Amino acid sequence: VIELAATTTATGDGVPRLPAHRFTSGDEVELRSAGNKKVTQGVISQVTDTSLAFAISNSGDNGNKKGTKANPKKKSGKQDSQDDEVDDSENPYGEPPFTLVPSSSVEVHRKMVVALNTLAHDGAGHAVAGPVVQALFDPFSLQQQSHNNTAES
């Protein structure tokens, strides 16, 4: 289990609290490290005002996204002999700053990138997407629409 805790005090009571978020227990997430470009997948197991804890899944680590600051702490009831061999200066989850991203957002982003690449490749000449591309990105088309809207008023 990894615990991410707030590192700065945002309130006057001196207690570091997490920024507003929508994470709840059971959410599938990815912990992304900007420094080492690592991704660790897991499921949120506990949410408080000051920290989030999530259980790490056994899937592979890969990826590359920028992050926001968090403080990772490994929580475990017993010590592994393998943990004793890990150099304290080397964090197996990458280097801060970290970002915690909902897995559903990652999938939506991947689909959006594919769709935008398709639009960029096909451009205004595509039979179906052409009018959409022209309406969104052609400056003349935007001026024409603006002129038509003011003429109708």
Domain count, the chain: 1
**Residue numbers of the domain that contains 51:** 2-109
Residues 6+ apart with CB under 8 A from 35: 94, 95, 96, 97
One-letter amino acid of 49: D
Q: Tens of pLDDT along the chain (153 residues)?
A: 888 888 776 666 778 888 888 999 999 998 888 777 778 889 999 999 989 998 988 654 444 333 333 444 433 333 333 444 445 556 777 777 888 889 888 888 888 888 888 877 877 788 887 888 888 877 675 555 555 655 565
Q: Quick check: is 133 in a domain?
A: no
Tell if the pTM clears 0.75, that is, is over it.
no
Residue 46 lies in a domain: yes
Question: Is 147 in a helix, a strand, or coil?
Answer: helix
